[in-house]
Amino acid sequence: MTRSISIFGATGSIGASTLDLVGRQPEEWRVEALTANCQAAELARLARQHGARIAVVADEGCLPELRGHLAGSGIEAAGGAQALVDAAARGADLTVAAIVGCAGLAPTMAAIRAGKTVALANKEALVSAGEVMTAAVRRHGATLLPVDSEHNAIFQCLAGNDIADVAVITLTASGGPLRDWPLERLRGATAAEAVAHPNWSMGAKISVDSATMFNKGLEFIEAFHLFPVGHERLRIVVHPQSVIHSMVEYRDGSTLAQLGPADMRVPIASTLAWPRRMDTPCKPLDLPAIGQLTFFAPDEDRFPATRLAREAVVAGGGAAAVLNAANEVAVAAFLSGQIAFTRIAQIVAQVLETYSPAPPMTLDEVLAVDGEARRRATTMLRPA
Ligand code: NDP
């Protein structure tokens, strides 16, 4: 039976991987909405290629260009923040949330409110909204499937088991491209060095997050909300080969791990086909060629992000939304050459120290905390 699918962030790395898989099964899918921020030409090309019903640019200023590229196609064009939310509220059978940053929160919440299935790559949305999002999932009977490779691995390792039997959930981290750099060298890391991930090909923001370990910090918070075992049972281990994507240890001493190639099409396919399986074009694992799997404890002196994330979870309230917003501002400033690499974690820590909002209870309150944390982080954008 054909299912409808909408992809928010269709022009990005996760969007491309998802459309690659969808394009291999045209009989399975009818594409409802595809969205971008402002890459209008690319969005229009994808919308035509996949026969989307509507294409939406978040930046309304890019709508005339989108309209021009879609002229004569019969595909609806829309623009602006509300158009994004309206497109999500159409309630496709499966919505892939793959916008980068808290910008994806409102449309993701709209898709959840439609009560269908949401495949979540946009970790910043869950980190910021936390219980506001998980409560909405319960209230609207939606299904949230994790796309993030670690959370998808955990989801798979939990299948058929009782979460009450979990002793420890271990998130693996590649450690990123700067894993072995001493602190003095980290200060001078350039954007090109930080985004050169050894295993994964990803968008710029998550690549910097991998280099700072904020990606793992965000994932720690994401796991805290997706898998309610308590933060004390969540661990992080550095595993540079990115072969084991995460593990669940049970109280009887059994540890289940999910392994696979470092290709996001594998976890995306697991959400597209869930609860079944589908073929992918991914190269299977060749364990003899890989040879060795190694593991290290994270170094939180050089990479304080995972400590800050754990502290934000313990602090509760709006701390996770503050951490996320400050990190988004700092990463953008680092990518534009405004601040040094090591300033990213310093700015996040400083904003967390000075701003402890009460727990946001609604989407609007989450967005208000996010906005205030951004404002405070922006005032700190001076070189170290
Ligand atoms: P990309 O930067 O490659 O793509 C981001 C997408 O979001 C693009 O379609 C972009 O549109 C759109 N976008 C950017 N800003 C806005 C905005 N303000 N409003 C609406 N849309 C916007 O990111 P990735 O695909 O790498 O990552 C997407 C999400 O998935 C992130 O949350 C990331 O953490 C998560 N993720 C990514 C993984 C990966 O392998 N890439 C792995 C696991 C999780 P435009 O092209 O017009 O700029």
Q: Is the CB of 37 under 6 A from ligand 1?
A: yes
Residue 24 lies in a domain: yes
Residue 14 CA, ligand 1 centroid: distance in Å: 7
Q: If you ran DSSP here, which 8-state letter would residue 369 be given?
A: H
Q: Is the CB of 39 under 6 A from ligand 1?
A: yes
SS3 for 312? helix
Looking at residue 383, its pLDDT comes to 52
pLDDT at 360 over 80: yes
Domain housing 11: 3-146
pLDDT at 201 over 90: no
CATH classification of the domain holding 75: 3.40.50.720
Give 33-80 pLDDT, tens digit per residue. 999 999 999 999 999 999 999 999 999 999 999 999 999 999 999 999
Residue 344 CA, ligand 1 centroid: distance in Å: 20
Residue 1 binned pLDDT confidence (cut-offs 50, 70, 90): confident
Residue 308 lies in a domain: no
Query: 235 with 253, same domain?
Result: yes
Of 6, 7, 13, the residue with max ligand 1 atoms within 8 A of its CB, to mutate for a pocket test, comes to: 13
Residue 48 CA, ligand 1 centroid: distance in Å: 21
Burial of 204: CB neighbours in 10 Å, binned 0-12, 13-18, 19+: middle
Residue 200 binned pLDDT confidence (cut-offs 50, 70, 90): confident
Query: 131 with 56, same domain?
Result: yes
Q: Is the CB of 15 under 6 A from ligand 1?
A: yes
Calculate the average pLDDT of the chain: 97
Tell the residue nearest (CA) to atom 42 of ligand 1. Answer: 148
Tell the residue nearest (CA) to atom 2 of ligand 1. Answer: 203
CA distances from 353 to 202, 254, 341, 344, 350 (A): 31, 40, 20, 14, 5
**Dihedral pair phi/psi, residue 78, rounded to 5°:** -145, 165
Domain end residue (candidates: 239, 271, 299): 299
Query: 155 with 22, same domain?
Result: no
Query: 159 with 135, same domain?
Result: no
Query: 160 with 283, same domain?
Result: yes
Give 240-293 pLDDT, tens digit per residue. 999 999 999 999 999 999 999 999 999 999 999 999 999 999 999 999 999 999
Give 135-162 pLDDT, tens digit per residue. 999 999 999 999 999 999 999 999 999 9
Tokens of 49: 């290629």
Residue 108's closest CA among 128, 79, 140, 85?
A: 85
| Bridge partners for 79 per DSSP | 57
Of 7, 14, 171, 271, the residue with max ligand 1 atoms within 8 A of its CB, to mutate for a pocket test, comes to: 14
Domain end residue (candidates: 146, 171, 202): 146
Query: 165 with 132, same domain?
Result: no
Q: Is the CB of 79 under 6 A from ligand 1?
A: no
